[in-house]
C-alpha cells in the first residue's frame, strides 16, 4: 500500500521575478490552500493528504501536521491517509500548485493585481480591469517559450453564455469555452459554425440536489429509484 509519494520537480522553472520555483513553494501552496483563512472552495479535494482535513477545519493550527513537505530544493513529499493511485492527478490540480509566498505575504489580497502578481506559467498578467477584461502576454522566460505561438491573449469577462455566443458570431470574439445548450442543435446544423464547434470529453464528477418537497421527488420511492 503506497501512502507516500515523492515528486521530483524541474530545476529550470522560474517565477516572473526571476527566482526559482522550488519544492518549498509547493509545500507553501498546499498549506495555504488548506488554511481556513484562505477559505478555498476546493480545499476538501486535498483531504486525502494526511492531516489536511483537521487543519482545514481549524481543529489543528499547526500546518506542519499536514502531510506535505519539501525534502530538497526540488523534491516534494506527500503522505496520504490511504493508498490512491489517482493521487498524481490531484497533485497536478491548481489547489496543489506552487504559490509565491513572498508576493502573497507582501501584498495580501492585492497580490493578484498586475503590478504585484508573480507567476510561473506560459503567460503573464499585463492588465486586469475587474469584471470587464484582462490581458495576458507571453512569458519570455518560460521554459517552453519557443513553443508559445500566441504573444497576447485578450480575455473578456461575460456572465451570460448567450451574450458571449452573440459576440462570437458577430466576429468580436475569437473563441469560446462553452456554448449555451439550447443553441447546440443550431450550431451543429450550421454549415460554418459546425466546423468551428469542437466537443471534447471531460472527466468530472457532478452533484445534483433535489427538492424533496416538490413532485415527483416528494415521493421516497422516486428518490430511491434515482
What residues form DSSP beta bridges with 155?
134
> What would the grid cell of residue 19 be?
527566482
18-43 pLDDT, tens digit per residue, is 999 999 999 999 999 999 999 999 99
At 18, which helix (H) or strand (E)?
A: none
pLDDT value at residue 208: 77
| Rounded Cα distance, 156 and 127, in Å | 12
The answer on 58 and 99 residing in a single domain is yes
CATH number of the domain enclosing 49 = 3.90.76.10
Number of structural domains in the chain:
3
Using an 8 Å Cβ cutoff, are 98 and 62 in contact? Answer: no
pTM over 0.75: yes
pLDDT tens digits along 64-111: 999 999 999 999 999 999 999 999 999 999 999 999 999 999 999 999
Is the domain of 15 the same as that of 68? Answer: yes
Q: Of the candidates 6, 218, 19, which has an alpha carbon nearest to the alpha carbon of residue 100?
A: 19
Reported as a single tens digit per residue, the pLDDT across 147-176 is 999 999 999 999 999 999 999 999 999 999
Q: Looking at the structure, do residues 216 and 138 belong to the same domain, yes or no?
A: no
Indicate if 63 and 75 belong to the same structural domain: yes
Query: Structural domain of residue 97, as residue ranges?
Result: 4-110
Question: How distant, in Å, are the alpha carbons of 147, 160, 216 from that of 224?
Answer: 52, 35, 12
d(CA 127, CA 88): 33
Sign, CA torsion 76/19/12/93: positive
Give a yes or no: residue 118 inside a domain. no
SS3 call for 168: helix
My answer on whether 55 and 13 are in the same domain is yes
Amino acid at each position: 500500500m503506497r501512502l507516500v509519494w515523492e515528486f521530483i520537480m524541474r530545476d529550470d522553472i522560474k517565477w516572473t521575478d526571476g527566482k526559482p520555483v522550488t519544492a518549498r513553494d509547493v509545500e507553501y501552496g498546499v498549506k495555504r490552500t488548506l488554511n481556513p483563512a484562505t477559505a478555498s472552495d476546493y480545499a476538501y479535494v486535498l483531504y486525502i493528504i494526511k492531516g489536511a482535513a483537521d487543519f482545514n477545519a481549524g481543529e489543528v493550527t499547526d500546518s506542519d501536521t499536514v502531510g506535505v513537505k519539501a525534502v530538497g530544493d526540488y523534491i516534494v513529499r506527500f503522505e496520504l491517509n490511504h493508498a490512491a493511485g489517482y493521487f498524481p492527478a490531484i497533485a497536478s490540480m491548481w489547489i496543489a500548485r506552487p504559490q509565491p509566498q513572498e508576493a502573497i505575504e507582501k501584498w495580501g489580497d492585492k497580490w493578484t493585481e498586475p503590478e504585484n502578481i508573480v507567476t510561473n506559467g506560459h503567460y503573464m498578467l499585463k492588465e486586469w480591469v475587474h469584471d470587464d477584461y484582462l490581458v495576458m502576454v507571453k512569458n519570455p522566460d518560460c521554459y517552453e517559450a519557443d513553443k508559445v505561438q500566441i504573444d497576447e491573449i485578450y480575455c473578456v469577462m461575460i456572465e451570460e453564455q448567450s451574450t458571449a455566443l452573440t459576440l462570437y458570431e458577430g466576429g468580436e470574439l475569437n473563441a469560446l469555452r462553452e456554448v449555451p445548450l439550447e443553441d447546440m442543435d443550431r450550431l451543429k446544423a450550421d454549415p460554418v459554425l459546425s466546423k468551428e464547434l469542437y466537443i471534447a470529453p471531460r472527466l468530472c464528477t457532478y452533484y445534483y440536489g433535489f427538492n424533496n418537497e416538490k413532485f415527483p421527488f416528494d415521493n421516497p420511492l422516486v428518490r430511491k429509484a434515482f
